[in-house]
């Protein structure tokens, strides 16, 4: 089976009925980019930058961040690299900031944290923009629920660009801005996000947590954490459909994308962009190459209408 998977690595990710699927990699450290490239990733769909910030007592400065982001961008050799801005808080706390929130998963995390700490955000945005001089960079903001967070991010991005321009430092002025869809409210009222952003990426890990009110790290309720719950699937499907209507690419970058047992389900919802750890890519690709997208679309549409837990064996 190992040999069979190895053969797959050079084969395209295309369904039996000819739908081309993009397989991107999730990375946590910059040196994983080159490995993802070798594993056949078409790009980085999620660079979780918080790992540069965790387990240390002082924040990385602009220069250190720039070097890290540039390393990932160069490692992908011209392929797109989606850099997510700091997703700190909740399960990913900074060492020098003792948790004060009673419900950190509902607290000042991710984009909320960044907008509340404009200097930290500006430093990261400048570092990301500088890295964009070395390849194709996309900026992804986590935990967005409000359009004003998107507007505030665009303003912060414009200021970061102005500062770099004043310094005479190069960057890609066309760098795309996208948002994670991982809060149910965002998926339910997705239209303005689909309209105003360049791309969307569904974070199923948090989307499931918040939709089902299950702490993703709490083992006592882990049995209730269910990616096949119809409410979760409807939110995902609705987001994918909005992307089609507004002509914006939609990816899934949560763990669901790398789970080969769910590949047919996601294809059946019309998903064409998957982002996962590089080690999961070949198994997912094998599922894609043996799937008939149109037949799955029909079956999944019926399943979602029934509002019962989706039975994967029926797909
Ligand atoms: C997610 O929530 O699905 C996701 C991809 O982000 P993270 O796991 O880093 O919260
Ligand atoms: Mg998340």
Could you tell me the distance, in angstroms and rounded to a whole number, from the CA of residue 1 to the centre of ligand 1? 30
Task: Establish whether 234 is an annotated binding residue.
Answer: no
Whose alpha carbon is nearest atom 8 of ligand 1?
205
3-class DSSP state of 84: strand
The helices-and-strands tally (H runs, E runs) of the chain is: 13, 8
The pLDDT of residue 191: 98
Per-residue pLDDT averaged across 34-49, rounded? 93
Token pair, residue 194, equals 């689909």
φ/ψ of 220, rounded to 5, equals: -65, -25
Per-residue pLDDT averaged across 110-122, rounded? 96
Q: Is the dihedral of CA 127, 197, 249, 303 positive or negative?
A: positive
Stated pTM of the model: 0.96
Could you tell me the distance, in angstroms and rounded to a whole number, from the CA of residue 165 to the centre of ligand 1? 33
What's the CA gap between 146 and 268, in Å, rounded? Answer: 29
Among all chains, which residue has been given the structure tokens 């909005």?
242
Task: Establish whether 112 is an annotated binding residue.
Answer: no
Q: Name the more confident of 233 and 93.
A: 233
Q: Is the dihedral of CA 242, 247, 248, 253 positive or negative?
A: positive
| Confidence check: pLDDT of 298 > 90 | yes
- Tens digit of each residue's pLDDT (9 = 90 or more) over 147-186: 999 999 999 999 999 999 999 999 999 999 999 999 999 9
Mean pLDDT in the chain?
95
- Residue 114 annotated in active site: no
Per-residue pLDDT averaged across 268-284, rounded? 97
The pLDDT of residue 96: 63
Please report, for residues 4, 22, 81, 130, 197, the alpha-carbon distance to residue 67 in angstroms, rounded to integers and kept in the order given. Answer: 37, 27, 14, 9, 27
Q: Is 253 in the pocket of ligand 1 (CB under 6 A)?
A: yes
Task: Establish whether 4 is an annotated binding residue.
Answer: no
Q: Name the more confident of 154 and 38.
A: 154
Where helices occur in 168-312 by DSSP H, the ranges are: 184-188, 191-196, 204-212, 230-246, 263-268, 281-289, 293-306
């Amino acid at each position: 089976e190992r040999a069979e998977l190895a053969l797959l690595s050079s084969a395209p990710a295309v369904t039996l009925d000819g739908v081309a699927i993009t397989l991107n990699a999730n990375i946590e450290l910059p040196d994983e980019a080159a490995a993802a490239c070798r594993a056949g990733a078409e790009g980085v769909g999620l660079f979780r930058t918080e790992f540069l910030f965790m387990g240390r007592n002082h924040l990385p400065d602009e220069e250190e961040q720039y070097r890290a982001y540039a390393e990932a961008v160069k490692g992908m050799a011209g392929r797109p690299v989606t850099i997510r801005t700091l997703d700190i808080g909740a399960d990913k706390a900074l060492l020098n900031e003792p948790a004060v929130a009673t419900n950190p998963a509902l607290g000042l995390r991710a984009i909320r944290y960044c907008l509340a700490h404009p200097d930290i955000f500006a430093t990261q945005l400048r570092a990301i923009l500088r890295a964009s001089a070395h390849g194709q960079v996309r900026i992804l903001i986590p935990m967005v629920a409000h359009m004003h967070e998107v507007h505030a991010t665009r303003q912060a991005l414009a200021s970061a660009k102005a500062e770099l321009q004043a310094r005479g430092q190069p960057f890609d002025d066309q760098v795309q801005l996208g948002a994670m869809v991982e809060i149910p409210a965002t998926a339910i009222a997705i239209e303005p996000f689909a309209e105003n952003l360049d791309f969307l990426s569904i974070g199923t890990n948090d989307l499931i947590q918040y939709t089902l009110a299950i702490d993703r790290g709490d083992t006592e309720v882990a049995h209730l954490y269910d990616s096949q719950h119809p409410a979760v699937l409807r939110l995902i499907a609705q987001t994918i459909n909005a992307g089609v209507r507004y002509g914006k690419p939609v990816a899934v970058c949560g763990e669901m994308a790398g789970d080969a047992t769910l590949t047919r389900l996601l294809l059946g919802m019309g998903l064409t962009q998957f982002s996962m750890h590089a080690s999961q890519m070949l198994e997912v690709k094998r599922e894609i190459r043996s799937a008939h997208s149109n037949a799955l679309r029909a079956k999944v549409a019926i399943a979602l209408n029934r509002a019962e837990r989706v039975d994967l064996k029926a797909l």
